[in-house]
């Protein structure tokens, strides 16, 4: 069902990260993509039609004010689902990159 004025797809997901360079390397290796935009506090990578914005936790405060950014270690701060042709193979690859399944 399509609702007038409601987007048909999510264009971007922004993840608040402690270390932009480390997160950038992880997603570049995982998805084999290049950075489309980058500055001192962020990096944006296109994965198919989706843009993954990696924003330094310290810079995220102004983006979500007056809400607060949850500190790392306080629980889940983001989740997204990616379609893959073989879930078992994807889990093996994620584990190889240090992700606990």
Q: Which residues contact 94 (CB under 8 A, 6 or more apart)?
A: 30, 101
pLDDT at 4 over 60: no
Q: How confident is the model at residue 5, as a pLDDT?
A: 53
Per-residue pLDDT tens over the stretch 6-62: 556 778 899 999 999 999 999 999 889 999 999 999 999 999 888 999 999 999 888
Query: CA-to-CA distance for 45 and 97, rounded, in angstroms?
Result: 18
Q: Which residue has the higher pLDDT, 77 or 29?
A: 29
Residue 1 has pLDDT above 70, yes or no: no
Confidence tier at 69 by pLDDT (50, 70, 90): confident
Closest to 14 measured CA to CA, from 46, 68, 54: 54
């Amino acid at each position: 069902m399509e609702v007038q004025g409601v987007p048909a797809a999510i264009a971007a997901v922004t993840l608040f990260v402690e270390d932009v360079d480390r997160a950038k390397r992880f997603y570049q290796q995982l998805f084999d993509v290049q950075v489309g935009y980058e500055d001192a506090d962020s990096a944006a990578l296109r994965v198919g039609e989706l843009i993954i914005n990696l924003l330094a936790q310290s810079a995220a405060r102004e983006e979500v004010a007056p809400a607060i950014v949850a500190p790392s270690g306080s629980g889940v701060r983001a989740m997204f689902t990616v379609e893959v042709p073989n879930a078992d193979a994807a889990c093996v690859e994620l584990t190889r990159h240090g992700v606990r399944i």
